[in-house]
Amino acid sequence: MVPFSLAVWLLLLPVLLQDAASSEAVCEAQAQRIIGGRPAPSDGLSWPWQVSIFYQGKHICGGALIAEKWVLSAAHCFPNFKMQTKHYVVVLGAYQLLNTSSNTVTSDIQRIILHPSYDSYDTPPPRGDIALVELKSPVSFTAYIRPICLPEASVQFSMEESCVVTGWGEIQPGVALPPPLTLQEVKVPLIDREKCNSLFNAAQREPPLYNPVGPGMICAGYQEGGKDSCQGDSGGPLACPYDGHWVLAGVVSWGIGCGRPGLPGVYSSVPFYATWISQHIPSMTFAMRGNGGVNGREQNSPAVILLLVFFALTLL
């Protein structure tokens, strides 16, 4: 009896282990228009979720790969999305946009879903500036193409955290990134909404913007300016370390100029839109505190329980 149950257990072990491994979503594998930034490390392996969105053959926005078939970007990147989905493509696994390698994959777009609260005719700042882009077919993950973990709605990022924003946007307002368009990265700390609103309120501007940073937004940058995202970075990822891996905290949305003192960059808050994302991608898993980062294990737990019951029965 004992050898039999042991044999069953040994047979089940790989299944259990595989189950645990697959629930540790692929996005966890990573340890740890950009103004004042620097080129990302030249291996191009650092930010494998970074994508470029091309419109009629030109880079217009960034985006972040979040699943085999899905990219998260900004709604304002798609002003013509209704009639013209076919004019957009997503470029994955790129490092230098004018010097693409065999690691680069270009994908057509199946569907673009803008957040229902986004209204392009709204006066700035934009509300609901977030979009889900469904690829025509799933991409294969490689060392250069991997998704970033999404935070659960309850996740609160620490304001001391040094996050990183990446993109192929302008290096100064009105100054395009020079060829060969090397992906830039810059470290920016998060700034909470209250503080950020008081910064914007203090900046004497015409027309005045009062409390422009809405509940679905988060800021990042330095009081003294100098480091920021800029035009062309929109839709791109603001990644923060969380429970030992990179999690997508924000999507580049808007700012007043770029890198100006006292005017940080404003990002759509990904935890704020997590529920909306899961409505469109029910299989999506989200990072939360306390279980190694991703709650995928929770979803697999019925299978684990069944196997444990089965194991218990073999002991009888």
Coil, helix or strand at residue 188: strand
Closest residue to bound ligand ARG by CB: 255
**Contact mark string toward ligand ARG, 201..220, x via CB under 6 A:** --------------------
By CB under 6 A, residue 232 contacts ligand ARG: yes
- β-strands 286-287, 150-151 pairing: parallel
First-to-final CA distance of the chain:
8
Q: At what angle do helices 296-315 and 2-23 cross, to 10 degrees?
A: 180
| Distance in Å, CB of 124 to ligand ARG, minimum | 9
- Give, as one character, the DSSP assignment of residue 228: B
Among 63, 93, 169, 216, binds ligand ARG (CB under 6 A): 169
* Angstrom distance (rounded) from CA 147 to CA 149: 7
By CB under 6 A, residue 233 contacts ligand ARG: yes
Q: Are 199 and 191 in contact (CB under 8 A)?
A: yes
By CB under 6 A, residue 230 contacts ligand ARG: yes
By CB under 6 A, residue 196 contacts ligand ARG: no
**Of residues 46, 107, 115, 129, which has the active-site annotation?**
129
Q: Are 143 and 43 in contact (CB under 8 A)?
A: no
By CB under 6 A, residue 255 contacts ligand ARG: yes
By CB under 6 A, residue 234 contacts ligand ARG: yes
Q: Are 226 and 258 in contact (CB under 8 A)?
A: no
Window of 8-16, 20-28, 112-120, 229-237 that interacts with ligand ARG by CB under 6 A? 229-237
| Distance in Å, CB of 254 to ligand ARG, minimum | 5
By CB under 6 A, residue 23 contacts ligand ARG: no
Burial 121-141 (b: 16+ CB within 10 A, else e): eeeebbbbbbbbbbbeeebeb
Among 216, 265, 271, 293, binds ligand ARG (CB under 6 A): 265
By CB under 6 A, residue 185 contacts ligand ARG: no
By CB under 6 A, residue 199 contacts ligand ARG: no
Specify burial of residue 14 (Cβ count, 10 A radius: 0-12, 13-18, 19+): exposed
* Angstrom distance (rounded) from CA 307 to CA 260: 58
* Angstrom distance (rounded) from CA 294 to CA 193: 26
**Of residues 234, 253, 268, 269, which has the active-site annotation?**
234
Window of 8-16, 40-48, 114-122, 232-240 that interacts with ligand ARG by CB under 6 A? 232-240
If we measure between CA atoms, which residue out of 314, 299, 306 comes closest to residue 152?
299
Residue 162 appears among annotated catalytic residues: no
By CB under 6 A, residue 188 contacts ligand ARG: no
- Give, as one character, the DSSP assignment of residue 288: -
By CB under 6 A, residue 252 contacts ligand ARG: yes
Residue 228 appears among annotated catalytic residues: no
Residue 233 appears among annotated catalytic residues: no
If we measure between CA atoms, which residue out of 67, 56, 21 comes closest to residue 281?
67
Using CB under 6 A, count the residues that bind ligand ARG: 13
By CB under 6 A, residue 239 contacts ligand ARG: no
Which amino acids are annotated catalytic? 76, 129, 234
Where along the sequence are the contacts to ligand ARG (CB under 6 A)? 169, 228-234, 252, 254-255, 258, 265
